[in-house]
Amino acid sequence: MQFLAPAAMILGRILLAALFAAGAVQKLLEPQAAEALLSARGLPTLLVWPALAFNAVVAVCLLAGIRLAPIALSAALYCMVTSVFHFLPGDPWQMSIFVKNWAIAGGLLVLFAHALPNRH
């Protein structure tokens, strides 16, 4: 089954990139949702724009295979940090997003480990 590894790696990167691309598009077309989450935590709503840019850069780098280790690590940290916005125990939908953010971070950490040079 080792012959499937390259295809699985590419497909995994495409799926992760799709998530970040969708996040960028969502913030572009409807920034109010992200702004509300930021505002609820007392943060400036203008942070939606650097978040949009980060999402877009991550998507492009994952698709193109550019600097995969640092991109995967930074995206994992981003998912962990931003999960706090979704930690709303009274809202099952937001808690689902909270858990998914941590699962995505896990996948990105695996990608980080596999993208490291000279890994054994």
Q: Is the pLDDT of residue 119 over 80?
A: no
Where do the domains of the chain lie?
2-115
Both tokens assigned to 39: 């505002």
Band the pLDDT of 117: cuts 50, 70, 90.
confident
For residue 113, pLDDT over 70 is answered with yes
Look at the block and give the residue holding tokens 């994992």: 76
Confidence of residue 1 (pLDDT cuts 50, 70, 90): confident
> What is residue 120's predicted lDDT score, i.e. its pLDDT?
53
What DSSP string describes 30-98? Answer: -HHHHHHHHHHTT--GGGHHHHHHHHHHHHHHHHHT-SHHHHHHHHHHHHHHHGGGG--TT-HHHHHHH
The CA distance from 20 to 78, in Å, is: 11
Whole-prediction pTM? 0.90
Whether 23 and 104 have beta carbons less than 8 Å apart is answered as no
- In the chain, what percentage of residues exceed pLDDT 70? 98
Please report the pLDDT score of residue 91 as a whole number.
93
Return the structure tokens found at 97.
């997003």
pLDDT in tens, 8-34: 999 999 999 999 999 999 999 999 999
Each residue's pLDDT tens digit, 50-101: 999 999 999 999 999 999 999 999 999 999 999 998 898 999 999 999 999 9
